[in-house]
Structure 1
Amino acid sequence: MKHKTFAEYDDGLTRACEGALGMLLRAFGTLAPTLRLVGGLVPRYLTPEAPPDVPKHAGTTDVDIVLAIEVLAEKGKYNKLSEQLKANGFSRVTNLDGKPSSWRWERKVDGQTIVVEFLQHTDDPAKNARAESIVDEGVSAMQILHAGVVHEMYLEREVIVELPDGNGKTKVAIRHADAVAFILLKGLAFDDRKTNKDAADLVHVMRHADSIENLAALYASRLKEGAHHEALEQGLRALECKFCDEQGIEGFEKEGPAQFCAFHEIGEPGSEDRILGQRNVSALVTEFVARVRALAKAAE
């Protein structure tokens, strides 16, 4: 569930998500390094709170994990993953039709029910948002367009996690999307789902992960490398579509800036404060895209 405003998010719930992530890493054992964290928990590690320069991020209500399907599908590699999940306190989420899901799992942490969603890569738009089973694992993963970029575009951060159920504290290595992967995937997610939270997460990372100059230079260098050129290009087009000027409509009037300001409850719709906030967001994204385009062109 994605709340519509910053005020609806809770620090305790975000910490519970981190605890669930710690138990998930335990469940995967030696395969834990193959997991990649994406989604709303990533800014906790990518842009750690450091007032006044880096403000608090809203947090999250769930945990999104991209699986390395080719590793898990190897015969005999980890045949009882579902049993390992259950042994570590996870159970399948029951869908609205009463059927258990195999790509969404849940666990109680400090009285909160935390949902973990397993995702996998696809480069086929027709397969986006379709679940597919993992051979012999009793687990499936939702196919997400270009999610596999995080297997190469990631950072590793060691954090101390308090495990639920009195299991104590442990130090874990979390491999999460880096700034480029996060901007790419959040841009595509917002283009697809159009939620306030996706717009807010995207802008938060663009503002606080690094300078806009450094972020654009890194994004452009990845474009030049070519390994994920189409994914990166689609990410840029999504940003242009939702945040930047085009014929007949100014960028600040578009969904991205409007939904960012709605999430942070900046002024009333149509007020000077709201319009200024929307203009600032559009200007930020427009500068980023323009810098990436210019750097990529210069490298040709």
Structure 2
Amino acid sequence: MGIIFSAIGQSLPPKSKFSVADIPDLSGQVMIVTGGNSGVGKETVKALLQHNAKVYVAARSEEKAKAAITDLKSETGKEAQLLLVDLADLHSIKRAAAEFTQKESHLHVLFNNGGVMIPPHDQLTAQNIDLQFGTNVLGHFYLTKLLLPTLLATATPEKPARVVNTSSLASITVSTVNFNTLKDGPARKKHSVSTLYGQSKLGNVIFANEFARRYGDQNIVSMSCNPGNLKTELQRHISGLARRILDATLYPAPYGALTQLWAGTTEEGKTLGGKYLIPWARIGKANPAGLDPELGKALWAWLEEQVADI
């Protein structure tokens, strides 16, 4: 029953008290938005540019990223920077992090926004990890790990660095992470792509909270958020009647940027470490599994193991 009430509360949010107009001037701040070429990510980049941040659009498609950057410049008069990265390939992430740190000595906010949702079951990452968990969780973990020295060098008590991890309402649909399903094999094949998606979104919450426990005392604020039920390219693998029903319940993409912009740019956002945020720009209650420190340690250890030899 609690899950039902939580789902309703997150799916039917009240009018937002926060708007893009409330974002302060971000001059001098450097930010990365993964998946910044479309959907919620693009809307997030747009708002950051409008408030004078230097923003890197992290995306795997150079063509789509450049097209988005062109669109954003025509809309804002500001030009975002391109950072090519495939979150489903750890070697690509390593190259992208090296490229960024060669160009920049500061990183004020990392928006771990990109992701995939219910792709065909046989799709895996370059390292043979479940595509959803590998992209949504492992890819962002590795990117954050490689950028951690820059985040730490940027952070101060007055202006902490921030890592905003985009989760989903789907994070409440599973009760734990089944580590036997994260790589391809019999256990994974027994689970639906929807279950695997929910598991990856719970993974975002667990990672965000474990990161907060480990680095919150070093002036890095880490939180997770459900951006809302949104009409974006994330649903590209859904079709037919299910897509038509889903579309009737979805909000436009700009709404989805509100919660992570609130977390990443405002004074109040500095106080949200370890919190789970819900539409629109509110503090919510996470899946209890997302708060479990033992599960957090176990997931962190698994993630470290996957990147140890990259």
Q: Structure 2 length as normaliser, TM-score?
A: 0.32
Relative contact order, higher structure (CA 8 A, sep 6+): 2
Q: Structure 1 length as normaliser, TM-score?
A: 0.33
